[in-house]
Structure 1
């Protein structure tokens, strides 16, 4: 038997905080050695943090990474253990994303990444070069200070593997696993038995299974040990890296780390018999045949044994059932952990949320409540870092610390119901009840006097007083009156966040939380610079349908029973007067349902559909209930409002990215914000298709008539400074 003990890590790194990152790396290596492991795998770019972005273009970032690596190698940390450490490396004129493989205080090999992630939230080609020499290892001259410190001048650099005396080990970096012909396929034929995948993979709802199936598939047909390491936490941007470091042997998961956790360092241990890999491969005739005709990949000889012989004291890791969270749990845990990292690393003393009693803001409140529960659970389990952060943020004294989530929430969470004459008693009561269940410090504020003062000022300036539509006013008057309320709430929220701590003799400031969902962002159903303008937004990339499912789940599993009533209530902005024959409803205002919006969003972003392609797809999807003409009107109506509200996405609050069709302009959805909202060519093509399908001319409606700059009751036509769009709840 060749017994091998390995560890792979979830690390909560922070981009550009080298002290934090180095501490976590050292702790993970020390824990790995304590467990008796001889291979330790860390996440991609772990020294710098994955999310450095344009900081990777600075020479300082690369220099500091080398300094940290030198610190690791000068001590005894790497004695007797192979460590794969991620960092940027400059070779000549090129900058590479590398795994540096170290052992016994020396660098054995540097493996540059060959296939870079460059879509969605990833821009690796902006910062790095892909290694293009498929089967080349060459000598790399180490920086002089590293060379002097390690007494090592050069190191093999490129694509290859390490041949130990008793096994062969290779790196496969993140994206490389998912390319059509992944490196592990040829490496396995060359005798590599252990694959180390260092990754920086962020959380998306329902996506963990895709990742795990890829790991399983890597060894299911060709055998081997597949190690996966990932970041876990928010390293300074919109993404939450969801850990789940794992070890897979011959297509079966034998070790799996947590997906969501407040821990800074988590080490996952597996004990393996490599003879099981050799036996598995020897039983596959096609593997033997292909290996005999393989393309030779260069290797680096390492004169060390990694394996132990037969040892009854070393039990083997058995296949286990993969742990998955439901989407509702993911919404609670992912954004909850993300918020904790933002809170503890921003210097803020807590959060302030405008709580309307509606589904979106109530979801955010529940997520903060979940965060408080996670903090108390972490302290109870003995996590000293969580305890220290909680004591500092909650400003505890005399050795006290959080033991009750509601008590902790009272210290770090303000909720504010900012009602007007248009607000209902039902939403006010729901907000108060939920705040009591979570434990937040809750305020009920009337904004009527502020709104009245602004309207009176307008009347004094112009001689005219605007009226709501239900009272005979125009669309422009109606929209203007709603937006005054929405923007007043934004100003009041930031004032309270900055001054309430002072009122309560607390130091610091509070972060304002936003609560607009991905579907409203896609449609532009929000007022520019209202309560959608916050510091951060934990639900900005989560659909309305998923949020409603989350509310039903949270009412039972988080202990906030009032959420069931919130979920059952129809969504409303409550920005217009309530009358016996009229009540403002979001889906009526939008002219489309939230379910339809999710469909539009996925077709537009994930399937890359323009108006004509979307029309064709929806004719198949909705053809049993709608005519082609009706589908055409829906598609044109969506694209009209998507384009005239696109400008709002340039100022959208930084949001947790959990969905793949976010319309956010800043990082994810790189499209223009000035459109010809008539889409004359595309809409004409749709009309021609409709005519060919049913032989009838389709009726011309407003959706095809508005031009750039014309404006309407909803928004300006996508131009900077245009009127804000639909009113939306921001109470």
Structure 2
């Protein structure tokens, strides 16, 4: 006969080094688990200190404070009569491990160190932790005195082991171990483990949720059993956003699903496994009712919905934890800055919904941000006016069309909008240059050289950055309100790939919610906003060609376009970006792939020119990535040099060997065609 077991998994919005807040959220999740009758509670990876501590893991303070929190958890009456599974860093034999600590009624049952590390892309776990590579081996861990005083234990089991209660057997995985071809659950299942748990810190990427769900379903499809998955939620201090998605799977079916995006801080060779016996039952002898599980249909968000949810939640975490009073965005009336504005509007929509749903924590944070203890947000537009300032920075090269598009969008989302003319500042800077050199540079349209033309564009862009920070610091002061604003950047991932932006222009900001999102996805997102949020101003923005508006107008109309400047379309750039990062293509292998992908639209010679142009632009501008604004991580082809894409920033931009291989291949293909 089967047994009914009640177990709880959760998503927590932890914050790196916020030990007090992290402890409070852990206790709240345990309290909620017990309220639902659970006998086991699983939490996310490194939840005590926060996953994003980075080089703070080297500090002894991080280890000390983690044990202090563990002591508080052990002593709390909330943690009694339930097995608690929490994550923290631990030093064992002078080696630092990423661990799970399982305890029950003031006794530590076992410590399970992570065996397979995440060390690619955004992750650098082997920089701070060592993997436990002693398969099926357990050692004695000597507890710190502060823990011994509570538990009465000198040592506890430390290593690759599982938990054997009176009625079942529980095995633990930690995040990346699930994604490994030789996941621990495979061998544990063969050894009779019935319940598998995974404490994770898995970040959000567009279209990633289905991979996660399929892996968890497959973990119990072959040999049966139960799989509990807990994940971090929110921005814990870095570029990534952890999107939750806690779930429970039984025999290959997902039977419970947590929210993927939410503003809530808590949602609650073959060798046998070493078993730690526990005099405790997860099931009740008196309960003969055995429920049957019913699979649920997982709701996958579209990429457009993910953009409206993930970056918006990330922005809110950053704002409420930064101590600032809102955001400021230079709004140009183009796709990129309009996408950033819409993400802030989506944030306000989520905040109003959360408050309407009774989320007192969100209400408290909103009131603190706006500086009004009586404020009750109900309308997203009204909230947007309190926390979001937009400004159109016009020059003599700006068109009325872009000014009107920026104004119309600001009116529809409700932001406090300003028109700022930068011509006086630009002419002042050029006047300084002229006074020193006796020369006044000219645009190409007026007979100037390419170098003059570029310098005149860049000075406009950089003046906008200076003004953005000035207004961010003082615009609320000018209105008689306290606080400052965070400056938002709006350079998309495709522009970053080619370096098609001015270094230290208004793309230089405090944070950038779209820095990891392609232009193609941003356009789809704006169409989604136009339809779902009735932001009709977006339709004219989508119809307009992307332009920097840094060169003189022709008959009052824009003559400069982004795609003409780059020599390729944004759609082509997205394909190139995925080949460069995800498929790991250099110039020649990229050319070989694209002559097949684009064979119906472009000749081999034309493909060759686009590939060469991309790599020249990429290598010449790579230095810009070393100073790029911290961006929300949304795509695995992100060029972010600071965390994700570790490549040189000084290249031989001629790529002579690689480009010669491409030329030889084009010549050979032309010769083969001529012979036919």
Identify the TM-score tier after normalising by the shorter chain. Answer: over 0.9
Alignment of 1:521-532 (within 5 A): 521-532=496-507
Alignment of 1:388-467 (within 5 A): 388-397=364-373, 399-467=374-442
Alignment of 1:34-73 (within 5 A): 34-73=35-74
Partner of 1:212: 213
Give me the whole-angstrom Cα distance separating, in 2, the residues matched to 1:533 and 1:696. Answer: 49
Matched residue count: 671
What's the RMSD between the two structures over aligned residues?
1.5
Partner of 1:288: none
Partner of 2:450: 475
Give me the whole-angstrom Cα distance separating, in 2, the residues matched to 1:194 and 1:107. Answer: 19
Partner of 1:100: 101
Per-residue CA deviations over 1:691-724 (Å, capped at 9, x if unaligned) read: 2222399xxxxxxxxxxxxxxxxxxxxxxxxxxx
Distance 1:313 1:430, change over 3 A: farther
Distance 1:582 1:380, change over 3 A: closer
Give me the whole-angstrom Cα distance separating, in 2, the residues matched to 1:2 and 1:203. Answer: 35
Partner of 1:728: none
Contact 1:352 1:513 in 2 (8 A): yes
Partner of 2:234: 233
Distance 1:631 1:400, change over 3 A: closer
Structure 1 length-normalised TM? 0.90
Give me the whole-angstrom Cα distance separating, in 1, the residues matched to 2:480 and 2:411. Answer: 22
Give the match's secondary structure for 1:601.
helix
Partner of 2:661: 685
Give me the whole-angstrom Cα distance separating, in 2, the residues matched to 1:314 and 1:429. Answer: 64
Mapped pair 1:489 → 2:459:
no
Give me the whole-angstrom Cα distance separating, in 1, the residues matched to 2:292 and 2:326. Answer: 46
1:673 CA drift (Å): 0.5
Partner of 1:701: none
Contact 2:27 2:79 in 1 (8 A): no
Alignment of 1:338-417 (within 5 A): 338-397=314-373, 399-417=374-392
1:629 CA drift (Å): 2.3
Give me the whole-angstrom Cα distance separating, in 2, the residues matched to 1:316 and 1:49. Answer: 36
Partner of 1:275: none
Give me the whole-angstrom Cα distance separating, in 2, the residues matched to 1:438 and 1:312. Answer: 56
Distance 1:304 1:582, change over 3 A: closer
- Segments of 5+ residues of structure 2 without an aligned counterpart are none
Give the match's secondary structure for 2:78.
coil
Contact 2:119 2:125 in 1 (8 A): yes
Mapped pair 1:506 → 2:481:
yes
Give me the whole-angstrom Cα distance separating, in 1, the residues matched to 2:389 and 2:633. Answer: 24
Contact 2:244 2:258 in 1 (8 A): yes
Per-residue CA deviations over 1:218-271 (Å, capped at 9, x if unaligned) read: 00111010000001100011010000000000000000000111110011xxxx
Partner of 1:602: 578
1:425 CA drift (Å): 1.0
Contact 1:348 1:509 in 2 (8 A): yes
Choose 137-146 or 115-124, whichever is displaced more.
137-146
Give the match's secondary structure for 1:363.
helix
Give me the whole-angstrom Cα distance separating, in 2, the residues matched to 1:435 and 1:633. Answer: 40
Give the match's secondary structure for 2:6.
strand
1:511 CA drift (Å): 0.2
Give me the whole-angstrom Cα distance separating, in 1, the residues matched to 2:530 and 2:393. Answer: 24
Give the match's secondary structure for 1:187.
helix
1:675 CA drift (Å): 0.6
Give the match's secondary structure for 2:77.
coil
Alignment of 1:162-173 (within 5 A): 162-173=163-174
Give me the whole-angstrom Cα distance separating, in 2, the residues matched to 1:84 and 1:133. Answer: 22
Give me the whole-angstrom Cα distance separating, in 1, the residues matched to 2:283 and 2:189. Answer: 19
Partner of 2:141: 140
Give me the whole-angstrom Cα distance separating, in 2, the residues matched to 1:49 and 1:316. Answer: 36
Per-residue CA deviations over 1:403-459 (Å, capped at 9, x if unaligned) read: 221111111110000011111111111111111111111001111111122222322
Contact 1:336 1:368 in 2 (8 A): yes
Give me the whole-angstrom Cα distance separating, in 2, the residues matched to 1:85 and 1:521. Answer: 39
Give me the whole-angstrom Cα distance separating, in 1, the residues matched to 2:672 and 2:437. Answer: 49
Q: 1:558 aligns with which of 530, 533, 536?
A: 533
1:9 CA drift (Å): 0.6
1:44 CA drift (Å): 0.2
1:625 CA drift (Å): 3.0
Give me the whole-angstrom Cα distance separating, in 2, the residues matched to 1:419 and 1:444. Answer: 7
Give the match's secondary structure for 1:508.
coil
Give the match's secondary structure for 1:645.
helix
Contact 1:12 1:234 in 2 (8 A): yes
Partner of 1:592: 568
Partner of 1:534: 509
Partner of 1:258: 259
Mapped pair 1:669 → 2:649:
no
Give me the whole-angstrom Cα distance separating, in 1, the residues matched to 2:357 and 2:276. Answer: 43
Q: 1:548 aligns with which of 511, 523, 545?
A: 523
Per-residue CA deviations over 1:288-329 (Å, capped at 9, x if unaligned) read: xxxxx9631211111111112574778555211101111001
Contact 1:44 1:174 in 2 (8 A): yes
- Segments of 5+ residues of structure 1 without an aligned counterpart are 268-292, 698-731
Per-residue CA deviations over 1:605-628 (Å, capped at 9, x if unaligned) read: 111111111111112212233332
Per-residue CA deviations over 1:170-195 (Å, capped at 9, x if unaligned) read: 10111111111111011111111111
Give the match's secondary structure for 2:382.
helix
Contact 1:394 1:408 in 2 (8 A): no
Per-residue CA deviations over 1:570-606 (Å, capped at 9, x if unaligned) read: 1011111111497111100111111111111111111
Q: 1:629 aligns with which of 605, 615, 619?
A: 605
Give me the whole-angstrom Cα distance separating, in 2, the residues matched to 1:220 and 1:695. Answer: 54
Give me the whole-angstrom Cα distance separating, in 2, the residues matched to 1:559 and 1:39. Answer: 45
Partner of 1:300: 276
Partner of 1:703: none
Give the match's secondary structure for 1:83.
strand
Contact 2:498 2:618 in 1 (8 A): yes
1:636 CA drift (Å): 1.1
Give the match's secondary structure for 1:538.
coil
Per-residue CA deviations over 1:93-124 (Å, capped at 9, x if unaligned) read: 21000011111221101000000000000000
Contact 2:4 2:289 in 1 (8 A): no
Mapped pair 1:695 → 2:671:
yes
Runs ≥4 in structure 1, deviation > 4 angstroms?
Answer: 312-317
Contact 1:375 1:386 in 2 (8 A): yes
Per-residue CA deviations over 1:358-396 (Å, capped at 9, x if unaligned) read: 000000000001111111111111111100010011111
